[in-house]
A and B are shown apart, each in its own frame.
Chain A
Amino acid sequence: MSRRVAQLPLWLWVVALGCAWAIAFAGVQARPVAPQQPASPVKNAAPATKSPAPAQQAPTSTATYVGDSACATCHEAAAAGYNRTPHHRAVDPRTPAAAKSCETCHGPASEHIADPVNKSLKKFKTLPAEQVNATCTTCHNRGEHVLWDGSQHESRGLACTSCHSIHTPKLATGQLKDTTQIQLCATCHRDKASKVDRSGHMPVREGKMQCSTCHNVHGATNVKLLRKGDSIAELCTTCHADKRGPYLWEHAPSRDGCVTCHDPHGSSNERMLVAKQPILCQRCHVATRHPSTVYDAATVGAGANPSVRIYSRGCVECHSAIHGSNHPSGQRFIR
């Protein structure tokens, strides 16, 4: 079949970007966002302190820095937690500890020291997500985090503190609010997390992989927040390079996207297939004879008329080169 070139109007996205630039540069004035009611945490962690929540007020310009030893006088547990984290590594000039320590993020505390009840500092448990994120991305705006703005999680109102804890992390790596990555991600993505318990699964529950092995939750150029490559197949073949090809005889779903046939999070079927063979294959192959035969209970291994096309590993027992073949007669992937 010949190849036709699809049309996507150039003017459409140029106009879209141009409008966006115009808005940005038109000098639309934005009023400061007023502090909202306290935000509910996605994952409940042990409270760092039992002091009552003070009323929210933005620090005034007369507040001055007092040093973290003053903070620790009252916020002993929070200080202890912070001291155990990379944020406290003062030798690193990029850390809060090398700057104003607690006050780097929470703001100058002199007025809060004088009036703890009525002059509160930035309390990240109650700040709107965009303010939390703005604080964190003052420093965390490179590397893994450069594409956070507009990413799937950011656009849904998640804050950095939805997943990370500065003072009381349960997992040191990444300062996560849960003991493992998958438990944290399961808070919202429960169905994906439960799939690792299926018989066909990646080595996640064995501790050899985790969600961030494939996904960059902070933003990515690839689809589905995949951290490598520019397509699903490119991500999968960073490890499964044996499926990369290029083959002489190619199998279309293997080239166009591994998830056509496989569920990367887990499946009850062999090789993490989305459905059992031959039914999976019969969803695309409708011809005469065995591709379209009904393989019912009579044809299973324990049936009256067992067929190799349904028991054991089904179609790929013969069509074993299913991802592609370099045999001259490999058209049907049997050689």
Chain B
Amino acid sequence: MTTAMQRILAAFATTFFLAVPAAGLAQGTPTTPPAPVPSVTVGGADFGLRKTNATGDAARYERYRDMGDGAYLNQFQLTRENANWFFDGGANNVGRQDQRFFGSATKPGRIRVWGMWNQIPMVMSVTTQTLFTEDIGGEPAVFTIPNGIQSQMQAAAPAARPAVFEANSLTFDTRSVRRIGIGGFEYLPSRDLTVRTTLSFTEREGTLPYGGSFGHNSLVEMPAPIRQSLTDFDSSAEFVRGRWLFRGGVLGSWFQNAVSQVEFDNPFQATDLTGTPSRGRLSVAPSNSFISANGMASVRLARRTRATAYVSVGALEDTGAALMPQTINAVNFPTIAPLPRSTVDGAARTSGVNLTFTSRPARQLDISARYRLYDYDNRTPVFVLPQRVSYDNTPGAATYTALGGVPSPAIVETEPFGVKRHTLDADVRFLSTRAGTAGVGFTRQVEDRAHRFFESTAENTVRLTYDVVGMSVFSVRTRYEHGGRRGDVTDAAQRALFNIGEHPEVRQFDIASRDRDRITVLGTLTPFGSLSFSGSVAAGRDDYLESTFGLRDNTHRVYTAGLDAVPRDNVNIGLSYDYERYEAIMRSRSVSGATSPTMTFEQYMAFVPPPTPVAGSAIADPRYDWGNTGAERVHSVIANLEILRIRERLDLRFLYDFNRAHSLYSYSTGSNIPLRTLPEDIDPAQTALPPPTQLPLVKQKLQRGTVDAVYSLTPRLGVGASFWYEEYRVSDYTLDEDANPELVRGSAVLLGYMYRPYTARTLWARIIVNW
């Protein structure tokens, strides 16, 4: 189906629904004049003093909040209502990094104006260290190390570099904050018409760990600056008349990044050399804009029928900034080739169509159908790289080396990814007052892609549901779905992978052929009105059956159980437990040296392993295969208890939250069957790889407990105390302190952002006022 036909079809569908005459229905129920409303002002506030004691990683305890000591003002709310207007305002965490203010004025049935100011901090670490100092405010951001320190680091033996670092580094906070100002209105010129408009402005500033490199084993981590702003505008009008609803809207989003390039010194090189620069320059997020318009028409018909048509179009563009130069290494300037163009010219057009139809044509029959189209048409022109400058070092030819070590015909050029996705859903449900509701559904999704291995995939999914929800004592909801996604593997596609240095038999799991099975069962049991139990079982498996390499298998099991009880009017009890089990199996092939003799694609596909493994032909020898099984087990418990109005004055609340996650990534080696799928069938004697040393278990545990007590001195005044306890324990071979004993190792310099345990206690002395 061509693009033009798609759009004509969408227009036809929209016009069709608009053109069908609709009979108006009577609007609402007869009204009586409202009684006069006296002015009423109510409100409340929770304020007092707070003290936090945190040992360990206090930054992680805070993360997205401000738990500092001192006075606090929280849950402030003021509401005033009179005959014509309703005013509402409030604030949380006043004066803190996570403060929030909001207010609204409403003339019911006519207009509502509202606004909010919200701050969201993100504290990553207060112990990070760096040799860099930043020239604040410029573009690009420039991170420099004094020449003397650079020379010291360059001259020092690797074992001596940590001492140089410790003597000269600066400790700083790695944190950022979003400040969001948002406001809008909802105006009803008439009962039928509603106009909504929202304008928001977000400013985000701070730092984030960001890596740079000067070579294969070089790593320089720096506190990349964040100086971003985002302006969003959203306006829509909705008209309802009788059975019909029409809505149209426009959205605009403008993202500005004041720092789109970062220059940074090389800690280990003070002067530029052809092959080793003293500085690097990299790109970060570009400024962009996204503007879209949408329209929707919906009609209600007899037999609980509703038909809805939605269309949207959008345009995404960069702001036309110039392409940055290939290198900052001045020694290499004379040998830099000109670029084919001077700007990115990034652009894309999006379009979406959503047609839905739901109906209950008979008492026991429920049908629905939906067609969804999404098109991301990437219009960024292809950029052919004339010359590659990888690390601001020696410019080289922009070529690929094929997997077999032979010259590759592939051109190094950009790949402006695009996707067009058609999805058709259809569901039929059969309702029975006694036997529950059985449903069957079907989904077909066809995706058409640009520049991906699978240019086209199709997925068919069948689902069965069975729900019993009309009983007083119990309810059960079950769902099973089976789907299969397939793509056409072409010889040309596999050859293209080989030519860019990738194994032809790898399949990217987001588009790979896959069989999917999922089942969920969710039940509740309510033997009494004051007691209910709930439980669920969910299981699923994704079988990437054609993926020799890559993600091969992905399974999950989730078991939950819960209890809610209200033994008395003033007592609430809740308890829930869930166990989650995830497992993902992948497969790869380890090749550490050059292919010798070189191997063409045809030779690779026809390769027969010799009796004894030869490292030079490892790319084609399954004895160099390895697998990894990532297994995660999670236990989670939440318990809460409320005892209210003890002696009519005292409220007590208790909460306990426990979450423990263990992850293990287990390696396995050896295979003598090229299409072996699960590594556990391997024969270790056939492997050419040394036995791997298994990775340690990754453990994370979070425990939280809160106790709140509020005593009402009068109906309007209460005093209270709260105690929060939070404990975080972690063992992570990538980011805990054991994994990073030093911040400078060889040619790597880190900031020191890590996972550290903490234990924190916060005590609140509270005054609660209501008026």
* Complex: A14 Cα to B368 Cα, angstroms: 14
Indicate if A51 sits at the interface (CB-CB under 8 A).
no
Closest residue of B by beta carbon distance from A242: B285
Given the known inter-chain contacts A20-B359, A230-B312, please indicate yes or no for A246 contacting B217, CB distance below 8 A: no
How close is B36's CB to chain A, nearest CB, in angstroms? 9
In the complex, chain A residues 235-272 whose Cβ is within 8 Å of any chain B Cβ:
237-239, 241-250, 252-253, 255-257, 260, 268, 270
Indicate if B344 sits at the interface (CB-CB under 8 A).
yes
A256–B550 contact, CB under 8 A? Answer: no
In the complex, chain B residues 347-374 whose Cβ is within 8 Å of any chain A Cβ:
347-348, 350, 352, 354-363, 366-372, 374
Type the 1/0 row for B278-290, where 1 means its CB is closer than 8 Å to any CB of A: 0011111110101
Closest residue of A by beta carbon distance from B86: A89
How close is A94's CB to chain B, nearest CB, in angstroms? 6
A24–B361 contact, CB under 8 A? Answer: yes
B451–A294 contact, CB under 8 A? Answer: no
A191–B558 contact, CB under 8 A? Answer: yes
How close is A207's CB to chain B, nearest CB, in angstroms? 8
Indicate if B621 sits at the interface (CB-CB under 8 A).
no
B84–A188 contact, CB under 8 A? Answer: no
Closest residue of A by beta carbon distance from B230: A241
How close is B70's CB to chain A, nearest CB, in angstroms? 19
* Complex: A161 Cα to B691 Cα, angstroms: 58
A241–B253 contact, CB under 8 A? Answer: yes
**In the complex, which residues of chain A have a beta carbon less than 8 angstroms from the beta carbon of B592?**
288-289, 293
How close is A85's CB to chain B, nearest CB, in angstroms? 13
Type the 1/0 row for A284-296, where 1 means its CB is closer than 8 Å to any CB of B: 1111111011101
B477–A157 contact, CB under 8 A? Answer: yes
A221–B741 contact, CB under 8 A? Answer: no
A97, A276, A325 — which one has the most chain B CB atoms within 10 A of its CB? A276
How close is B577's CB to chain A, nearest CB, in angstroms? 9
In the complex, chain B residues 398-424 whose Cβ is within 8 Å of any chain A Cβ:
398, 403, 412, 414-422, 424
8 Å CB contact of B659 from A194, A231, A306:
A194
**In the complex, which residues of chain B have a beta carbon less than 8 angstroms from the beta carbon of A37?**
470-472
Indicate if B649 sits at the interface (CB-CB under 8 A).
no
B255–A270 contact, CB under 8 A? Answer: no
* Complex: A314 Cα to B426 Cα, angstroms: 44
A301–B34 contact, CB under 8 A? Answer: no
Closest residue of B by beta carbon distance from A148: B306
How close is B437's CB to chain A, nearest CB, in angstroms? 6
Closest residue of B by beta carbon distance from A30: B363
B700–A268 contact, CB under 8 A? Answer: yes
Given the known inter-chain contacts A284-B550, A286-B589, A300-B695, please indicate yes or no for A327 contacting B562, CB distance below 8 A: no
In the complex, chain B residues 683-730 whose Cβ is within 8 Å of any chain A Cβ:
689, 692-696, 698, 700, 702, 704, 728, 730
**In the complex, which residues of chain B have a beta carbon less than 8 angstroms from the beta carbon of A143?**
194, 196, 238
Indicate if B165 sits at the interface (CB-CB under 8 A).
no
Indicate if B391 sits at the interface (CB-CB under 8 A).
yes
Closest residue of A by beta carbon distance from B422: A8
Type the 1/0 row for A320-334, where 1 means its CB is closer than 8 Å to any CB of B: 110101111111101
A321–B284 contact, CB under 8 A? Answer: yes
B529–A16 contact, CB under 8 A? Answer: no
B465–A270 contact, CB under 8 A? Answer: no
Closest residue of A by beta carbon distance from B108: A92
Indicate if B546 sits at the interface (CB-CB under 8 A).
no
Secondary structure class of chain A's binding surface, majority of residues: loop
Given the known inter-chain contacts A150-B368, A194-B578, please indicate yes or no for A234 contacting B470, CB distance below 8 A: no
* Complex: A39 Cα to B469 Cα, angstroms: 6
**In the complex, which residues of chain B have a beta carbon less than 8 angstroms from the beta carbon of A330?**
283
Q: Interface segment, B143-151, B204-212, B266-274, B603-611?
A: B204-212
**In the complex, which residues of chain A have a beta carbon less than 8 angstroms from the beta carbon of B13?**
17
**In the complex, which residues of chain B have a beta carbon less than 8 angstroms from the beta carbon of A171?**
none
Given the known inter-chain contacts A39-B472, A92-B109, A257-B510, please indicate yes or no for A208 contacting B692, CB distance below 8 A: no
Given the known inter-chain contacts A206-B64, A317-B211, please indicate yes or no for A301 contacting B738, CB distance below 8 A: yes
8 Å CB contact of B9 from A10, A44, A247:
A10
Type the 1/0 row for B320-358, where 1 means its CB is closer than 8 Å to any CB of A: 010111100000000000010000101110101011111
Indicate if A119 sits at the interface (CB-CB under 8 A).
no
8 Å CB contact of B475 from A39, A89, A155:
A39
Given the known inter-chain contacts A143-B238, A242-B255, A320-B210, please indicate yes or no for A296 contacting B472, CB distance below 8 A: no
A157–B361 contact, CB under 8 A? Answer: no
Given the known inter-chain contacts A6-B422, A198-B661, please indicate yes or no for A310 contacting B467, CB distance below 8 A: no
Indicate if B221 sits at the interface (CB-CB under 8 A).
yes
The number of residue pairs between A and B whose CB atoms lie closer than 8 Å in the complex comes to: 547
B28–A139 contact, CB under 8 A? Answer: yes
Indicate if B132 sits at the interface (CB-CB under 8 A).
no
Closest residue of B by beta carbon distance from A13: B371
B323–A326 contact, CB under 8 A? Answer: yes
Given the known inter-chain contacts A6-B422, A13-B424, A41-B526, please indicate yes or no for A250 contacting B108, CB distance below 8 A: no
**In the complex, which residues of chain A have a beta carbon less than 8 angstroms from the beta carbon of B467?**
156-157
A149–B304 contact, CB under 8 A? Answer: yes
**In the complex, which residues of chain B have a beta carbon less than 8 angstroms from the beta carbon of A93?**
31, 34, 108-109, 191
B739–A311 contact, CB under 8 A? Answer: yes
Type the 1/0 row for A152-179, where 1 means its CB is closer than 8 Å to any CB of B: 0001110000000000000000000000
B303, B378, B383 — which one has the most chain A CB atoms within 10 A of its CB? B303
A197–B455 contact, CB under 8 A? Answer: no
**In the complex, which residues of chain A have a beta carbon less than 8 angstroms from the beta carbon of B578?**
190-191, 194
8 Å CB contact of A247 from B282, B346, B636:
B346
8 Å CB contact of A294 from B213, B296, B590:
B590
How close is A113's CB to chain B, nearest CB, in angstroms? 19
**In the complex, which residues of chain A have a beta carbon less than 8 angstroms from the beta carbon of B385?**
328-329, 331
Indicate if B152 sits at the interface (CB-CB under 8 A).
no
Indicate if A34 sits at the interface (CB-CB under 8 A).
yes
Given the known inter-chain contacts A191-B580, A256-B419, please indicate yes or no for A17 contacting B108, CB distance below 8 A: no
8 Å CB contact of B693 from A97, A296, A325:
A296
Indicate if B569 sits at the interface (CB-CB under 8 A).
yes
Indicate if B595 sits at the interface (CB-CB under 8 A).
yes
Indicate if A40 sits at the interface (CB-CB under 8 A).
yes
Given the known inter-chain contacts A206-B64, A255-B417, please indicate yes or no for A142 contacting B584, CB distance below 8 A: no
Given the known inter-chain contacts A255-B376, A255-B417, A286-B550, please indicate yes or no for A150 contacting B509, CB distance below 8 A: no
**In the complex, which residues of chain B have a beta carbon less than 8 angstroms from the beta carbon of A221?**
296, 310, 312, 352, 354, 372
8 Å CB contact of A297 from B362, B446, B695:
B695
Closest residue of A by beta carbon distance from B695: A297
* Complex: A164 Cα to B156 Cα, angstroms: 67
**In the complex, which residues of chain A have a beta carbon less than 8 angstroms from the beta carbon of B458?**
6
**In the complex, which residues of chain A have a beta carbon less than 8 angstroms from the beta carbon of B506?**
284-286
Given the known inter-chain contacts A36-B433, A242-B285, please indicate yes or no for A313 contacting B588, CB distance below 8 A: no
* Complex: A238 Cα to B742 Cα, angstroms: 38
**In the complex, which residues of chain A have a beta carbon less than 8 angstroms from the beta carbon of B298?**
146-147
Given the known inter-chain contacts A28-B361, A89-B86, please indicate yes or no for A335 contacting B657, CB distance below 8 A: no
**In the complex, which residues of chain B have a beta carbon less than 8 angstroms from the beta carbon of A197?**
636, 657, 659, 702, 704
* Complex: A26 Cα to B302 Cα, angstroms: 11
Indicate if B76 sits at the interface (CB-CB under 8 A).
no
* Complex: A242 Cα to B258 Cα, angstroms: 11
**In the complex, which residues of chain B have a beta carbon less than 8 angstroms from the beta carbon of A42?**
475, 524, 534
How close is B534's CB to chain A, nearest CB, in angstroms? 6
* Complex: A100 Cα to B389 Cα, angstroms: 75
Given contacts A44-B529, A312-B740, A335-B283, 12 further A-B contacts (CB under 8 A): A100-B32, A150-B370, A190-B536, A238-B253, A245-B288, A246-B344, A248-B323, A284-B506, A296-B692, A326-B286, A328-B339, A331-B414
Some 30 contacts from A to B, beta carbons below 8 A apart, are A3-B418, A6-B446, A8-B446, A24-B305, A36-B433, A40-B526, A44-B531, A47-B566, A91-B81, A100-B30, A130-B360, A190-B536, A191-B578, A198-B659, A208-B64, A244-B290, A247-B344, A250-B378, A252-B452, A275-B584, A279-B630, A297-B692, A310-B734, A311-B733, A317-B213, A325-B282, A328-B389, A335-B389, A335-B390, A335-B391
Q: Across chains A and B, which 4 residue pairs bring their CB atoms closest together, nearest first?
A: A92-B108, A150-B358, A246-B346, A301-B739
